[in-house]
Amino acid sequence: MSASPPLESKINPSSYRGDIDGLRAFAVIAVVVYHVFPRWLPGGFCGVDVFFVISGFLITRQISHREISFVSFYTRRVRRLAPALLCVLLATVGAGLLFLLPNEISTLGMACFAGATFLSNIFSWQTQGYFDRAASLQPLLHLWSLGVEEQFYLFWPALIAFSRSKVFSLTKVTLVTGLISFAIGLTCAFFAPAADFYLPFSRIWEFMAGAGLVLGGRKLERLSLRWRTIGSGAGLFCLVVAVFQLRQDWFFPSPTALFPVSGAALLIAAGPETWLARYILAAPPARWLGSISYPLYLWHWPLIAYEHLVHGVSHTHRSTGYAIITLSLILAALTTRFVEVPLRWKTPERRTVIGLLSALAVTAILGLTLRAWPGHRTALGSDTPGINLEKINLAEQDGIFPITQHMHVEHIQGLTVGIIGSDPANAILFTGDSLLFQWGPRVDALFAQGRLKQTVIFISGPSCAPLPVEKPAKGFTYCNAMSEVQDRILAKWSVHTIVMGALWERVFGPPPEWPAKKIRAEERLRTLSAHGKRKIVFILPTPISTRFDPAHMVTRHFTHLSLDKDALQNGIPVAPMRAEHAAMTAFLMGIAQDTGSSTLDTTQEICGSAETCFPLMNDGTPKFADQMHLRPDFTQTLTSRLDDILIAPAP
């Protein structure tokens, strides 16, 4: 994403290809739309891989054809990358100082240091999964790709110089480097997915795909326009399939990044003369968007992250998303016009490079200072005795589907099957959605203490009902496999008790649908219980309130913070929450009575016996990760009525 047409056109005007600018436009649109509206382009994250192919092609062409010297190459890299990067780093840190909490500012400081030193991918690898829930709260997470590119720039020119010694040809070096990298990526995909995503070793093959196009240039030039046109169409097809069909958990980037990498390579190989290249990719709007793709990529993510920090991690409202995209385009255009262009072409080269390197060094020091400055205070200052803002903030970043230390996990037909224990003759089945899976940490804690008397098997999936009475929403069709997977586990394990939990109001829908769904539920329950031979336990609805959500305990504004002191210090009334679930609770109890099942009410374990429910534990740590899901730190220490089932001898 860092190479741009001005660099090529000013070095060698005849080598400039407007269609590559259009390919950049496609890549940056895919990434931005994926980040703002992920449901529109679920595979849009692969746009970064397209940038990698473009970089491999352009950099190899420039150096191997001796269009620029090595010294000139690195000088131009600094003048190309640093101006926009410095603007975004300083603006992001400045905005963060207004409303971030101390631990967030510390993390942002370290991310700023990593960004200024082009080590963001290493930092992210150690601290954050790209697709994790908390990732959307990290304003500088996106700089990981810039780190990968810079690390490529460090070693690849050296390998090109090595190939000039005639010991190994550049073609052999490219082929061997690409194959080794791809093999590393495949290995990491199974054993170290985070390394596969973030580290350069498993990404280099994508750059090599672009480099190979330079080395095969003469053969490609001999292809007829017909074959080039076919190739460009195939490339577009690969890219469209990638952005619409790829998913984050499909062994990405190895090997599924082959789709966007092949698509980009085919379009570049087809050349600038095909109809697609001339009239679509090289059209003025596409070329303009491609020319600002680098600052656009840099600006869009901090805006999204800060919007999530202020309004919560959820699907962005359409109008807000449009505003973010528009503001990103404006900032990118202004950065290109008033920062990049002057510093790249209109200032003395040596003085500019020294100044930019110095500014990067100062920015890195600023980041380390923020990282090590524990005394920083936010707008709330010390006006919150007994309330730990950092614990509230960390709770907001907790996931809602925790895989525990002693849980052996496999994925069957899209559902998560987690097993704690190993006795096939003495098992309990927990099945349902994330409100059921949240009890995993408690089971794990009992196992670690040596108190777990059963093997516990979880069959769960986000928004998946344990009973076949609802039609899953779009995007959750894997939930249809719940009954089949349950039957497979029951056939393999000797299960004596089945515990069910879910957001029951969603499962059974509005009250007019309850009678019909009750019939289907009871029929399935009789099958699961083997007509009374297995015990069935329903976990009744648990308290739900937006004021439980750590994201709402501290309300962020773009200039200050405010605190929900009433909920934190006085609690939230329990009676209205019980009344909200009263009809569903009675309905479930009726099903249980008709089928010989039992029910379990955990409200008192969560809230206590008082009239109000306090959202914080005694040490000031929130009980909930959001408005309804309990945090692992709470469930693993909670002495609940579930223990009666888990530590009792087998019946």
Q: What is the pLDDT of residues 8-17, one digit of tens each?
A: 445 455 578 9
| Identity of residue 95 | A
Mean pLDDT along residues 249-266: 90
Report angle CA 375, 380, 382 to the nearest 5 degrees.
60
Q: Is 376 helix (H, G, I), strand (E, B) or coil?
A: coil
**Structure tokens belonging to residue 598:** 């039992």
Residue 316: pLDDT above 90?
A: no
Mean pLDDT along residues 491-502: 94
d(CA 127, CA 124): 5
Contacts 24+ apart (CB under 8 A), 604-609: 605/638, 605/639, 605/640, 605/641, 606/542, 606/543, 606/630, 606/638, 607/543, 607/574
Mean pLDDT along residues 622-648: 85
* Closest listed residue to residue 432, CA positions, set 381, 498, 377, 380: 498
Residue 510: pLDDT above 50?
A: yes
d(CA 346, CA 581): 68
* Closest listed residue to residue 418, CA positions, set 498, 496, 489, 475: 489
Q: What is the pLDDT of residues 574-617, one digit of tens each?
A: 999 999 999 999 999 999 999 999 999 999 889 988 899 999 98
Mean pLDDT of the chain: 87
* Closest listed residue to residue 467, CA positions, set 589, 591, 642, 583: 591
Q: What pLDDT shows up at residue 641?
A: 74
Q: What pLDDT shows up at residue 378?
A: 47
Most confident of 160-169, 183-192, 259-268: 259-268
Dihedral (Cα; 151, 157, 162, 164), 10-degree rounding: 160
Q: Is 613 helix (H, G, I), strand (E, B) or coil?
A: strand
Q: What pLDDT shows up at residue 505?
A: 95
Q: Is the pLDDT higher at 516 or at 102?
A: 516
Q: What is the pLDDT of residues 388-401, one digit of tens each?
A: 777 787 776 666 77
Q: Given pLDDT bands bounded at 50, 70 and 90, which one contains residue 44?
A: very high
| Identity of residue 226 | R
The phi, psi pair for 511, rounded to 5°, reads -50, -35
The phi, psi pair for 59, rounded to 5°, reads -65, -40
d(CA 182, CA 569): 55
Every domain of the chain and the residues it spans: 5-371, 392-646
Q: What pLDDT shows up at residue 560?
A: 67
Quickly tell me which residue has 């990498």 as its tokens. Answer: 261
Q: What pLDDT shows up at residue 558?
A: 66
**Structure tokens belonging to residue 127:** 């601290």
**Structure tokens belonging to residue 383:** 């006006």
Mean pLDDT along residues 527-546: 92
* Closest listed residue to residue 198, CA positions, set 98, 48, 352: 48
Residues 392-646, CATH architecture:
3-Layer(aba) Sandwich (3.40)
CB 597 within 8 A of CB 549: no
Most confident of 161-175, 393-407, 523-537: 523-537
Mean pLDDT along residues 130-138: 64
What is this structure's pTM?
0.72
d(CA 150, CA 145): 9
SS3 per-residue string spanning 246-296: CCCCCCCCCCCCHHHHHHHHHHHHHCCCCHHHHHHHCCHHHHHHHHCHHHH
**Structure tokens belonging to residue 556:** 């962020």
Residue 41: pLDDT above 80?
A: yes
Please state, for a pLDDT cut of 70, what percent of the chain lies above it: 91
CB 197 within 8 A of CB 254: no
Residue 337: pLDDT above 90?
A: yes
CB 524 within 8 A of CB 517: no
d(CA 216, CA 117): 34
d(CA 72, CA 77): 8
d(CA 569, CA 550): 14
* Closest listed residue to residue 524, CA positions, set 471, 450, 478, 467: 467
| Identity of residue 8 | E
d(CA 452, CA 646): 6
Whether the CA torsion 397, 398, 399, 403 is positive or negative: it is positive
Residue 383: pLDDT above 80?
A: no
Q: What is the pLDDT of residues 67-126, one digit of tens each?
A: 667 788 889 889 999 999 999 999 999 998 887 877 788 889 999 999 999 999 999 888
**Structure tokens belonging to residue 588:** 């479930």
Residue 550: pLDDT above 90?
A: no
Q: Mark residue 616 as left, alpha or beta (left: phi above 0; alpha: psi -120 to 50; beta: remaining).
A: beta
